[in-house]
Every structure is written in C-alpha cells, then in structure tokens.
Amino acid sequence: MASYVSAIGNERFHFPDLAALLAAASPRRSGDELAGIAANSDSERVAARFCLADLPLQTFLDEAVVPYESDEVTRLIIDSHDSLAFAPIAHLTVGGFRDWLLSYTADAPALAALAPGVTPEMAAAVSKLMRNQDLIAAARKCQVTSAFRNTLGLPGRLASRLQPNHPTDDLKGIAVSCLDGLMFGVGDAVIGVNPASDSVPNCMAILEMLDELRQQYDIPTQTCVLTHVTNALQMMERGAPVDLVFQSVAGTQAANRGFGIDLAVLDEAYAAALGLKRGTIGQNVMYFETGQGAALSANAHHGVDQQTLEARAYAVARRYKPLIVNTVVGFIGPEYLYDGKQIARAGLEDHFCGKLMGLPMGADVCYTNHAEADQDDMDTLMTLLTAAGVTFLIAVPGADDIMLNYQSLSFHDMLYLRSTFGVRGAPEFEAWLERMDMVSPGGRLRELSPQGAGARLLAFAKETR
C-alpha cells in the first residue's frame, strides 16, 4: 500500500495510506477527531489537499480503503463499477476532476452519463477539494428523477417528506399531524412515520391508516412506516399496503451488520416490493436513510473518515434504484458534527456526493439539543440545499419532532422555500392541491378556514379510530 508525502516550502507532511490522506484532507469535524484520524493541524489539512489534488482517480480503483476480501460494500463498489461511464474522466487527477465538475462541459447529460463510473471514494475525495459554493454549483447541475405515484427530481421542483411522528403511535395523533402538513402542501416525497414501537402489528396499523388517508382523498403520493427491512418483509407477507421499503444503511459491511442488514436481505426486500407493483407512474420502491458517523458509532469505520464512509453508503443505496435517499445530517449528535457550521458542510457534501453518484438525494435538516446549533443554522442549510437543487427535505409540525426528540424543519419552512426560490412540488401532487382547492389563483397555499376546502380533510382525523 502506497504512502503519501506532501512537501510545502520546507515543511513535509506524511500520510501512511490512502485512508489517512482522505481523513486528513477532510474539513474539520468532531467525529474524525473522536476517531483519532483528523488532521493534526490546519496546515496538515491543506497539505493533504495538495497531495490529494495530484492523485489520479484511477488510484481509487486500484486501492481499497476497506479491504475487498472482507467487506461486501467494497466488492459491490468495485464489481459494479462502469468503466465505460468512467472513461471521460479516467485520465484525470482528483484536482482535475474538481475543475471538470465546475466546467461548462459537465452539464446535466454529461453528469448523468458519468454517475455509474463514479465510486464513492472518488466522490468523497473530490468533495474534500470543493468549497461550499462548488458543492452547490456542481450538485445543482445533476438531474436525478425517480417515480412511484408522482415524479420527483424534475428541474425547478422541491419535494418534501411529511413526518407526522407521535410518541405513542396514536393513530389519531398521527392523522392530525398528517393533515396539518397536507394543508401546507407537504408530503409529495412521502408521508413517512418513524414508529415509537417496532412491533409488526403496530407498524401495520399505522400503514393501514396512512393508506386509507391516501386513498380516501386520492392523494398522488406514497406512504411509509420507517421500520426495519425484516419487518417490512413480514408486513408484505401479511398483505400490508407497503409502498416503499425503508432501511438505514451505512458504508461498511460491519456497520450494516450493526443495523442488522446485509445486501442479501436488501435484495430480498427489493424484489418483494417490486413484486407488489403498487407504483402507478414508476417503480422506484426503496427509501434509504444515511448519516455521517454511523460507522464510527458502530465501531466499524476501519480508520476511514466519516464522510468517505457516508459516500460508500450511497453505493449500497444506488444498487436498489431508490425513490428517495436522505442524510439525517444533524441527528447523530455533537460528537460527530459539533455545530451548525459542521452540520451545514456535511449536508452539502452528502447532497453533492449522492447526486454525483446518481441518487435522488434529500436531507433531514436537523439538530439535537446538545449540539451547538439552532433554527438559524437550519434556515441557512435549507436555503443552501435548495440552491443546490435538493430533491426533498423533511418537515414536521412546528419543527419539533415529539417522538425522536430533535428539531427538523417546519411545514412553514417549505412555504418559505417555495416563495423565495420559486421551487414547486411534484407536478402530480401540485395538481391534486389544485383539485382540492387548497391553492389560491396566485399559486399560494390557502390558509385554513372553517369554510375552506382544506377543512374537509380535518374530518379524516375525527373519523380515525
């Protein structure tokens, strides 16, 4: 295995292997410091970037950061690499790739054709050489569409996940939060509940209520209960209305084992969900969540920095042509992303790497109460991600998730983004809002009044048992 030296002036910096070089080149973050792999100084960090800039992209195909023999994610990355798609950039260094991504040559069709040729390590490496504005500008050029009962990812569109969680999974409570979100035009990416209890009968009860709501009002969207993939398999066996199969995924085999999954069980669930043929417009049936730090928290990081491992999780996700993928960027806590600055940087990196690899990438713009962050930081990140063309964002009533005890975006935030940037919901969902008379002639969401059309929806919550 090669080691790397960077000489600047009379200073020399030594990096024992590729993983160490990538870690040292990463912007400062608490998770890499906790793992003991971060750069020891700001000078060393930039020296690592000089060194990384001169590294040929081909290196990442010759040298694995996690061993091929012992890790099925590495095998997936190497075995599924598309060398034809890679050809246009095969001669480039990581630094040359950065310049190419920002060039006019790299337009939407070129980037779409390139995606299967980009490995996670290439995406992560180039992101470390990009400033925030580079991450925004390059991601914005990537167009990734996916479809189930509506179409996500079209230019000028921003979808949203409605997250109506309840601390005891009370069906009426969940229904009320659903309706609150629908009044704001939220929920085209998915109406998705994190259950408080993972028992299969409980998850099925939530799923049946969500499906009834969707069918009663003929809402062109998809629903999901975010439970373990093995539970989804059981629910499908029992005939539950599973639109999307959800799973948290990570970037190493050992970290995925910590989640209780491997590629075989994902393959099985993917086949089962496709077999249900519930999508009307498309057959993207998977929903994945990721987040930097997942592998370290499972003691399964192999000395690789958390952002590179995050990109490797996207290799797992893209095997299954998902409808949506989101990074739960600030959820994991300050020992991985310390403050609003680190959370914002990670959110932009994750979105860029996901899009570059061809994923319909969204984000949960969020933080916990022991992180150095607040709603102002969320305002900044959601604004930056919308500028970057993020596929969807997650929103909860009043930005306060009362089940998971953290703060995300509020339904109001989606109105702000639509007004400020002119981004619109999925076209099928937008047409539904108009049919329901929930949109005024100017295109703005109407406010709820007792006489208004939206009030009809409220009847559903009263009828829910």
Residues of this chain that bind other proteins (CB under 8 A) = 30, 33-34, 164-167, 170, 172-177, 179-180, 297, 333-335, 338, 368-370, 374-375, 396-400, 402, 405-407, 410, 412, 415-416, 418-419, 447-450, 455, 458, 461-462
| Minimal distance, residue 182 CB to other proteins, in Å | 12
Nearer to other proteins, 129 or 382 (CB): 382
* CA 169/CA 323 separation, integer angstroms: 25
| Minimal distance, residue 247 CB to other proteins, in Å | 15
Nearer to other proteins, 345 or 418 (CB): 418
Nearer to other proteins, 65 or 417 (CB): 417
| Minimal distance, residue 347 CB to other proteins, in Å | 20
Cβ within 8 Å of residue 219, ≥6 positions away:
182, 187, 213, 429, 432
| Minimal distance, residue 63 CB to other proteins, in Å | 30
Nearer to other proteins, 267 or 400 (CB): 400
Cβ within 8 Å of residue 346, ≥6 positions away:
29, 292, 307, 310, 327, 329, 337
| Minimal distance, residue 335 CB to other proteins, in Å | 5
| Minimal distance, residue 369 CB to other proteins, in Å | 4
Nearer to other proteins, 51 or 457 (CB): 457
| Minimal distance, residue 412 CB to other proteins, in Å | 5
Maximum C-alpha span of the chain: 76
| Minimal distance, residue 59 CB to other proteins, in Å | 32
- Asked whether 81 and 120 are in contact (CB, 8 A), the reply is no
Nearer to other proteins, 61 or 298 (CB): 298
List 367's β-bridge partners, or say none: 407
| Minimal distance, residue 78 CB to other proteins, in Å | 31
* CA 149/CA 283 separation, integer angstroms: 9
* CA 293/CA 193 separation, integer angstroms: 23
Nearer to other proteins, 135 or 175 (CB): 175
Report which residue type is found at 321: K
What is the DSSP secondary structure assignment for residue 324, as one 8-state letter?
A: E
Cβ within 8 Å of residue 336, ≥6 positions away:
29, 30, 31, 34, 292, 293, 296, 297, 306
Nearer to other proteins, 33 or 63 (CB): 33
Torsion region of 107: left, alpha or beta (phi above 0 gives left; psi -120 to 50 gives alpha): beta
Quick check: helix, strand or coil at residue 409?
Answer: strand
Nearer to other proteins, 75 or 446 (CB): 446
| Minimal distance, residue 241 CB to other proteins, in Å | 23
Nearer to other proteins, 201 or 260 (CB): 260
Cβ within 8 Å of residue 155, ≥6 positions away:
143, 389
Could you tell me which of 364, 457, 378 has the C-alpha nearest to residue 160?
364
* CA 114/CA 96 separation, integer angstroms: 15
| Minimal distance, residue 180 CB to other proteins, in Å | 4
| Minimal distance, residue 410 CB to other proteins, in Å | 6
Q: What is the DSSP string of 246-271?
A: EEE--SSHHHHHHTT--HHHHHHHHH
Side-chain half-sphere CA neighbours of 123 within 13 A: 33
Nearer to other proteins, 53 or 332 (CB): 332
Nearer to other proteins, 266 or 373 (CB): 373
* Tokens 């990096």 found at: 15
Q: What is the DSSP string of 343-383?
A: HHHHHHHHHHHHHHTT--EEE---B-TTSB--HHHHHHHHH
Quick check: helix, strand or coil at residue 210?
Answer: helix
* Tokens 């061993």 found at: 67
